[in-house]
Chains A and B, each alone.
Chain A
Amino acid sequence: MSPLGGMRFQIEPRLEQSRAIRTLAPLIAVVLTVLVGAVMFAALGVDPLAALASFFLHPVDTLPELGDIGVKAAPLMLCALGLAVGFRGNVWNIGAEGQLIVGALAGGGVALAFHGATGWYILPLMVAAAFAGGAAWAAIPAFLRTRFHANEILTSLMLTYVAAQLLGFLVHGPWRSPDAFNFPVSRDFGDDARLPYLTDTTELHLGVLFAVIAVPLMWVLTQRSYAGFQVQVAGLAPRAADYAGFKSSRIVWIGMLSGGALAGLAGLGEVAGPIGKLQDQISPGYGFAAIIVAFLGRLHPVGIFFASLLMALLYLGGGTAQIEMQIPPAVTGVFQGMLLFFLLGADLFVGYRIRRVGRVAA
């Protein structure tokens, strides 16, 4: 006999889903995360209110700090916007991190090739190269999936590690700066190969603007274009898509290439923005965190815009909480995990309900 006295429960789909609750679910998840976070802080022996303020308010209470949120959110936003296209069509690109690295390598390679040169054309070339580099890295799993039915989750993930090795090889080897005492860094990019700052008082750079512009563009692509419609149908009703004559390989290519190209652009934003050169560490896992961002944003560009800002706040809050309250950095990861957990949990109750179906015969 079960602890529930032999009562049986069943999870069954709701016949009618509330649209309002569906939109509110991410907010509910955020509220639950904050509440449980407060309990966690109390358990750690710190004042929960002060800790929450340090985590969520202090990182954004000045203008330069707001700029930092934008800088941190931009790579997450770009990666998540691209990934969402594929996720909508059941194309599971898990390798945005690797596509980000190859985009940074391609764009950075252009910067290094034009070392010492000046000209307005360098930056656009770098952007184009980063786009192409990220897309090319995503094209490998797309090809393997469409040609050999290889699972793109595995191939795209594994290619991330290949990309990291490629980056290591280049900065330890052929692209290593001759002036850096054999340390694994490339030469510094020239001024014309750097993304300019948008304002004098913040760290916001042109790459952040790319991310913001990508939001409406991706909205048009996913919500208003024929390609977006095909992906949508393929995701919601694969057989209907077949009947309609939408080619499933086309869906895979659209999904993978958008994810790869935007991740590549995100990589360029890092190396041509704050970092200013190639080195053996470029991204602290933006490509993976972007998966959470995409789902938190409901795979919708506007949702992703806000979700990436929230995620950036979590990262920065982890820093201020350490400086001000000596709260361990693992808290950031715990918050991210809780957020996803509560979101998935909330989603279950949006689409399903739990019903008691009576007692089991003894």
Chain B
Amino acid sequence: MLRPTALLAAAAAIAFATTGQAADPLKIGFVYVSPIGSAGWTYQHDVARKHIEKVYGDKIKTSYVEKVPEGADAERVIRQLATSGHKLIFTTSFGYMDPTIKVAKRFPKVHFEHATGYKRSKNVATYIARFYEGRYLAGIVAGKMTKSNVAGYVAAFPIPEVVRGINAFVRGMRSVNPKATVRVIWVSSWYDPGKEREAAEALIGQGADVLMQHTDSTAVVQAAESKGVYAIGYHSDMSKFGPKAHLTASTHDWRGYYEARVKMALAGTWKSGAIWGGIKEGMVKMAPFNMAVTDDVKKAVSDATEAIRNGKLHPFAGPVKDQDGKVRIPAGKTMSDKDLSSMSWYVEGVDGKLPKK
């Protein structure tokens, strides 16, 4: 009569296993669109992942999946994380929006955090940073440091977030240097070091002496370094890729947000919502300045930072004119978040046409 005993033993083992699970760490999953690498969009998210591991120690356990394509695979990977016991899942690319919403429906007890999207539900929160505030500050640096009054901008795709960044950069530049203009080259890729470098060199050839980028690799900074012009990094501090060229960088800092959200999840107070944090919330930060940046430039940037922090300065406070000189936002008004999130026109000072539909 061995069988019932064995069954009982198995049942006991299962019971123990389930009681044991109550004290188990909170499993947190991250889905990354690109490899972590040593700088860039995904790298910044991973810095924050390591940060929460440090803060919460054995109360949590994190895992991540890199290089998840934004097609059919995203849904499967997110679901895999949910079924393997992850209770808080960060999906860190725009293309994960629909898959996140879909998987979230099936796992109502799991909390999801989707970066940069606009669809939410009871257990899907969204978060994005006011990257444009950092762009504006970068523009001040570029406007002060340029000699040719032309900056070059290597951009990925003409979606609102990128267009908004270009516009904020131009407005920052022209706030200190009204003659300054920006030339844009679209490379149709978030990560393509070859194309990014070609675009950077073309812009330098057209007279740009400060480069800015909205792409993921460090190729633009490296091109600037080898051609002897300036560059401003994006996502991460990229100074080690261009010690002479790299003036500063507009960086993302997700540590505070992730720490706060994990705290809520641990305490059982997690709620869905839409966070759009900027300099004030510590989500956008400037990297340390290059030696070449003079004190008056540093002061202009720190003054503007302070003004943005306490709400006295908004990069899109009126009057805002578009490229054709038409006033889009009259003096005394400020562009609404809704208009900011669907921006699809260039402000005054951008040289060239926005790719049209």
Contacts and interface: CB of A to CB of B under 8 A. Distances in A.
Interface stretch (A41-49, A119-127, A180-188, A335-343): A180-188
A323 interface: yes
Contacts of A329: 35, 65-67
A324 B63 contact: yes
A172 B95 contact: no
A287 to B, nearest CB: 13
Given A176-B357, A279-B95, A323 B75 contact: no
Contact of B84 (A280, A282, A315, A323): A323
A190 to B, nearest CB: 15
A273 interface: yes
A159 to B, nearest CB: 18
A243 B81 CA distance: 60
B72 A273 contact: yes
B207 to A, nearest CB: 28
A319 interface: yes
Nearest to B94: A183
A319 B159 contact: no
Contact of B159 (A71, A165, A183, A270): A183
Contacts of A276: 98
B66 A281 contact: no
A289 to B, nearest CB: 12
A71 B72 contact: yes
A116 interface: no
A351 to B, nearest CB: 37
A66 to B, nearest CB: 12
A320 B357 CA distance: 40
B59 to A, nearest CB: 19
B76 A203 contact: yes
A154 B24 CA distance: 56
B26 to A, nearest CB: 16
Contacts of B160: 181-183
A319 B80 contact: yes
B198 interface: no
A274 interface: yes
Interface in A254-274: 270, 273-274
B73 interface: yes
Interface string B145-162: 000000000000111100
B38 interface: no
B29 A283 contact: no
A49 B81 CA distance: 22
Interface in B47-93: 63-73, 75-77, 79-81, 83-84
A201 to B, nearest CB: 11
B288 to A, nearest CB: 30
Contacts of A315: 73
B136 to A, nearest CB: 21
B342 interface: yes
Contact of B356 (A62, A173, A183, A316): A173
Interface residues on B, range: 35 or more
B71 A172 contact: no
Contacts of A279: 70-71, 95
B118 interface: yes
A158 to B, nearest CB: 17
A282 B64 contact: no
A334 to B, nearest CB: 14
Interface in B314-344: 341-342, 344
B357 A281 contact: no
Contact of A281 (B64, B81, B95, B159): B95
Interface string A314-331: 011001101110101100
Contacts of A168: 188
Contacts of B342: 181-182
A283 B73 CA distance: 9
B20 interface: no
Contact of A68 (B29, B76, B84, B344): B76
A277 B97 CA distance: 13
B355 interface: yes
A284 interface: yes
A275 interface: yes
A322 B75 CA distance: 16
Nearest to A316: B76
A274 B80 contact: no
A173 B159 CA distance: 11
Contact of A323 (B29, B67, B157, B356): B29
B35 A270 contact: no
Contacts of A275: 71-72
A100 to B, nearest CB: 11
Interface string A238-249: 000000000000
B357 A184 contact: no
Task: Please name the 8 residue pairs, one residue from A and one from B, whose CB atoms are nearest each other, closest first.
Answer: A274-B72, A284-B69, A181-B342, A329-B67, A322-B65, A173-B357, A182-B344, A323-B63
15 contacts: A65-B80, A68-B76, A72-B73, A172-B158, A173-B356, A182-B342, A274-B72, A275-B71, A277-B98, A284-B71, A322-B63, A322-B66, A323-B29, A328-B66, A329-B35
